[in-house]
Structure 1
Amino acid sequence: MTYWEAPWGCPPDGNQQLLDEARFWVQIMREHALFIQLGLPGCDTELIRGAQAFAERFQRLEEMLDEAVGIGPELLTELRQAVREFVQYKQRLLRASVQCQLGGGLFPLLIDHITREAVRFLNRLEREQPITNPGFQELTQEEVFWLRIMKEHLEFIIHLLDPSERALINTAEDLKNRVATLLETARDLNSMSRAQPATFPTLGRFSEEVLSTIVMERDFKAAAYELALNCQVLSIVPTPLLLDHVRREADRALEEISALLNNTLTR
C-alpha cells in the first residue's frame, strides 16, 4: 500500500500489518499441527501428543489474536516462543524422516515445506516492522518463496490423487510445469535485481504472469476442495481441509505479491 492509498492519507500501520499476518499464519500453524497428527504412525504417541499440544496452543493464540486490536509485547513474545518451538519440533520430525526413523504418511518434503513456512513467520515476528520501501529484490524474493510453495502444493496433490483421476492429475501436472518454469525465471530475475536497476520493466510483465498463474492454481485448488468435500474425487487426501488450506495460501500469495508489485510500480 502506498502513502496515498492508505486510509486518510496516512502511511500503513506496521503493527496492524503484523496483526493481519499473525492471524493468517497462526491458523496455518494450527492446521499444520493437525496434518502432522493425521500423518504420524499411530504407535508414535509421543510425537502425536506433541502435535496435539501445538494444535491447542495455536488455537489459544488464534482466539487471542481474534480479540486483539494490536500485538503488544507480551503477545509478541508468546507468538515468537510458540513458533520457535514448533520450528524445532518440525525439524525433529524431518531429521527422523530423512534418517529412516519415522513411519507414517508425511513426505519429507512436506515436513520441510511446512518448516520453511514457520521459519518465514518467525522471521516476520522477529522483525516486527515491515520492510520500508521494498524494491525489485524484495518483490522477486517474494515470488521465489511463493512459487516454490505453489509448485510443491501441486506435487503433493498429484501424489495424493488416485491414479485413476487422470484428468485432475494432468491438469495439476500442467500447472506444476508452468509454475516450475516461473520459479526458475524468478530466481534469475532475483539475481539480476541485485544490480539495483532504477527500472525493471520486464519484472512488471513477469509478475503479472505470476499472478495470473497463481489465480489458475488457486481456482484448481478451490475446485478440488469442493470435489473432496462432496466425496467426488478418489484420493488419499487425509481431510478436505488440506485442500482449503493450500487454497488460502494461494490467496495470500496473490495478496502479498500484488502489494509489492504495486509498491514497485509507484516508486
Structure 2
Amino acid sequence: MRKQLNAAVVGSVAGVPAANELCLASVELFGVDGAAVSVIYEGSSRGTFGSSSEASRRLDEYQFTFGEGPCLDAVATHEAVLVTDLDSSEERRWPAFAEAALDEGVRSVFALPIMISSVCVGALDLFRDTPGPLGKDELAGAAIAAQLASLTLLDLIANDASDSSPSSPNSDDVTSGDEDAFGLLADMDRIEVYQATGMLISQLDVGPAEALVRLRAHAIATNQTARQVAVAILERILMLERDDHDGINRSSR
C-alpha cells in the first residue's frame, strides 16, 4: 500500500491536488467510500484541505459547522478515532455530526491524526456507508496515508518559503472562510522551524523527519536554537548540504 499511496502524492501537483489524490487512493485501497484531509488549529476545524469527492468534503465540513466530530477528537488526543457504527445506541459523542453523517448515508468513520514534528495539524477522515471496523491491513495503510498527508501540507510551506508559486487553495479548495491551510500553519508556534524543514525536504531530498533531525543537529553543533538555524536557512544565510557531515555553506546577505 505504501507504494501506491506514495505514488499518488509524488505524481501529483504539490498542495491541494496531491491531497486530493491521496484521498482518492485511500478510498481505493482501504475499502471506504470517502476520504478527506482536515486542517485543525486551536481545537477547531478550519478547513478541508483535500477530499476524494464533494460528498466527502461536505461530511468533513460538518465538523467545522458543528464544532464536533472524530477529526477534532483525533487531533486533541493525537490518537486514531475509530467509529464502527455511528448509529449504535452506545455512540453518543457527536450528536449533531452523527445525525448529519447518518443522513448522508454514512455508518462508520475513522479519523487518524496528521503530525508535523510534534504538532498535530489535522486529521485524515475515512467514511464508509456500511458499519464495521477497518481490517488490520487497511488500518495500517491509513496510518501511512496520514503520514503522507503531512507532506502535502509541508509542500505548501516549502513552496511559500522558497518564494515559488504554490498551488494556492482557493475558496473551493479550503472551506475555512478567508484563511488557507498555510495561513493556519503560519500562526503556529515555531513556524520558522516548519518552514525551514519544508525547504530542507526539497534541498536535501529527504523526508520530513530527517530534515528536522538535520536542522536540530546543526543547532546543537553550533550552540544555537532551532529557530535561529531555521531563520538563517529561510534567509539563505545558511544552507545544509546533502553529503557533508557538518553540512553547511554560508552565503552573505
TM-score, structure 1 normalization: 0.31
Structure with greater helix percent: 1
Higher share of residues assigned strand: 2
TM-score (norm 2): 0.32
| Bigger RCO (CA 8 Å, 6+ sep) | 1
